[in-house]
Structure 1
Amino acid sequence: MNLSRRDRFRKAARASLAGVLLTLAAAIVCSPARAQTDPLPSWNDGAAKKSITEFVVRVTTQDNADFVPQPDRIATFDMDGTLISEQPNFFQSVFAFDRVRTMASRHPEWKTEQPFKAVLENDSKALIAAGDKGLLQIAEATHSGMSVEEFNKIVLDWVATARHPRFNRPYTDLVYQPMLELLAYLRANGFKTFIVSGSGIDYMRPWAEKAYGIPPEQIVGSSGATQFNIGPDGKPVLMKLPKVDFVDDGPGKPAGINRFIGRRPIFAFGNSDGDLQMLQWTTAGAGARFAGIVHHTDAEREWAYDREAHVGKLDKAWDAALKHGWTMVSMKTEWKVIYPFEWK
């Protein structure tokens, strides 16, 4: 049979396309590394990793009884001790203490007035004795009297210059590599990830997106009052006032989730008693639910602490995890590395 030039061209094109498709299929079959890429490479193959990946498969598989529509795939994470280290003090506390030292020349009364005197004299016992009330006093004094934009710049300058006393690295270097992978894995599977932290929202927002890939509008935190003013130049400005507006810790976390997110999470991670109510609220919902706790068990690479800790105490939340079968993540046994800079 004689074929026209057009028919011969079409036949050759079909043959060429078929060859390309066969080559691609062979490449996929012969490349198991691509098909089996580990989304959590810094996690050891243990119970914690398995519980996470199995949960994600359950809630994202369309024909599964536990399937969750994408808009309801809300994941909330505490920050301090869950996404980043928190010893020997919460990093925002260190920032506030540095602010006290910077501002001290304008406040001579702080030399004799607690808790500021304790900061200036590095008196850790007096600071512990001052408790949460003392920390709030320090925050109110050091985080107010300026615009939101001015405060953002102060935070970013501190993040760029301050160094952790143990590691001599920027504090933001102490984010947890395994949790960065977990955040990315969840987002790749249609989850929306939120930070729900007792730290200040204005302290976290300037740098958290770069550190965790979580934008400012997906950060829930403690907040101070702000006031709209018209500045001397005639431009509108939001001023930070010396008044706490909302504390996003303990029972405040479910309230904050309801107020700022408006959906109950199906996945939540914390590390301390301050996260207990968030984990309880998450797991109380209908359908498949996940609650995880980062347990600090590695004194060599990070720190080891739980029930008796002054910072990041894990006591009641640990008991609840044992009772309800929540996932406990031991840093020492579950994580190959702690920080991104450990990867060689």
Structure 2
Amino acid sequence: MRLFACILAMAAAIGPAWAQDLPSWNEGPIKDAIIDFVTAATTEGGPGWVEPEDRIATFDNDGTLWTEHPVYFQFMFVSDRIRHLAPRHPEWKLQPPFKGILEGDTKAVAASGEHGVTELMAVTHAWMTAEAFEEIVSDWISTARHPRFDRPYDSLIYQPMVELMDYLRDNGFQTWIVSGGGADFMRPWADDAYGIPPQQIIGSQIAEDYQIIEGKPQFMRKPQVFFVDDGPGKPVGIHRHIGKRPVMAFGNSDGDYQMLEYTTSGDGPSLAMIVHHTDGDREYAYDRDTHIGRLDKAMTDAPAKGWHLIDMARDWSTIYPEP
């Protein structure tokens, strides 16, 4: 009887510890798949063992780690910067694409095409030092608020994904951001939000020059695109910056397809998951027909490729951290 009592006591002690893992994830096959994979990856001698140096997990950012509607948050940053700078440029009231930004006409902005986007990026992202840009982003992230939720943008991160990244790091995994968003846009705030340092952030980049300005080495940002970290660019970015294939990858759109494909094409254990936005009450509901974060081909191919769909409404008990 004493042995039985000891077993019950041990179970009671261990049970709550397990329950503390991923507390914002509802019990079900998705949470089980994560814990089973990590348990196997860290069980030496087992079939799912992953060497510590190979425990690499990559995460898209927009729509995977934080909200991306009504438009990508970096575009909200661009729009706010244009409005902030507009008093110095009265000509913008009549000049596309700036006119569209100032009037809130997103269709007009989209109609300006690649040339218009380049103009907006030049004004808001280039012709300044990297240090100055970082200060501007930091100021914006600390003051700007989402139009629907009236919260700072960096508080609209997904609590379940923050818990997941903490859980992975506790088990010896490296966590990397691999995003179509700008690397220099994410680096000023991502460490505080996610615990991911600047050197583990891969994103799109504009060109830069190394210059000595007033006796100080600086990076001068230029209006040309250097690298687009989206779609097939994501595996390229991973190869360039990490130098080995991840064993876990998390995305939410067709822009993440190649990253998931690359991650799960290796010989060893792997796990790929897609955040499916199904919760229109607590967040937004969208997939195939959306203009932001379109999820079509990846959702269709997921079952055959063994990729798991995270149903936001079903699998997450909470969406955002408490204010």
TM-score grouping bracket, smaller chain normalisation:
over 0.9
Choose from 262, 277, 297 the match for 2:243.
Answer: 262
Aligned residue in 2 for 1:287: 268
Larger radius of gyration: 1
Alignment of 1:296 with 2:315, yes or no, is: no
Aligned residue in 2 for 1:183: 165
The alpha-carbon distance between structure 1 residues 30 and 38, as it changes in their structure 2 partners (threshold 3 A), is: closer
Q: CA deviation at 1:116?
A: 1.7
Aligned length: 318
Aligned residue in 1 for 2:230: 249
Aligned residue in 2 for 1:319: 300
Q: CA deviation at 1:34?
A: 4.9
Q: CA deviation at 1:104?
A: 2.1
Aligned residue in 2 for 1:79: 61
Aligned residue in 1 for 2:119: 137
Aligned residue in 1 for 2:4: none
SS in 1 for 2:221: strand
> Is residue 44–residue 335 contact of structure 1 (8 Å, CA) maintained in 2?
yes
> Is residue 118–residue 223 contact of structure 2 (8 Å, CA) maintained in 1?
no
Aligned residue in 1 for 2:155: 173
SS in 2 for 1:86: coil
2:17 and 2:136 map into 1 onto residues whose CA distance is 46
Q: Which runs of 5+ in 1 are unaligned?
A: 1-24
Superposition RMSD in Å: 1.9
2:68 and 2:169 map into 1 onto residues whose CA distance is 25
Aligned residue in 1 for 2:45: 63
TM-score by length of 2: 0.93
Q: CA deviation at 1:141?
A: 2.4
2:303 and 2:8 map into 1 onto residues whose CA distance is 48
> Is residue 55–residue 172 contact of structure 2 (8 Å, CA) maintained in 1?
yes
Q: Which runs of 5+ in 2 are unaligned?
A: 1-6
> Is residue 37–residue 48 contact of structure 2 (8 Å, CA) maintained in 1?
no
What is the letter of the counterpart of residue 230 of structure 2? D
What is the letter of the counterpart of residue 101 of structure 2? V
Provide, for residues 203-251 of structure 1, a one-character-per-residue CA deviation record: whole Å limited to 9, x for no partner: 10000000000000000000111111111x3222111111111110111
1:312 and 1:38 map into 2 onto residues whose CA distance is 31
Q: CA deviation at 1:170?
A: 0.3
2:85 and 2:286 map into 1 onto residues whose CA distance is 33
The alpha-carbon distance between structure 1 residues 323 and 129, as it changes in their structure 2 partners (threshold 3 A), is: farther
TM-score by length of 1: 0.88
The alpha-carbon distance between structure 1 residues 79 and 30, as it changes in their structure 2 partners (threshold 3 A), is: closer
The alpha-carbon distance between structure 1 residues 29 and 323, as it changes in their structure 2 partners (threshold 3 A), is: closer
SS in 2 for 1:279: helix
SS in 1 for 2:274: strand
| Comparing 112-121 and 331-340, the one that deviates more | 112-121
1:26 and 1:332 map into 2 onto residues whose CA distance is 34
The alpha-carbon distance between structure 1 residues 272 and 30, as it changes in their structure 2 partners (threshold 3 A), is: closer
Q: CA deviation at 1:33?
A: 4.7
2:37 and 2:114 map into 1 onto residues whose CA distance is 37
Provide, for residues 271-292 of structure 1, a one-character-per-residue CA deviation record: whole Å limited to 9, x for no partner: 0011011111111111111110
What is the letter of the counterpart of residue 126 of structure 1? A
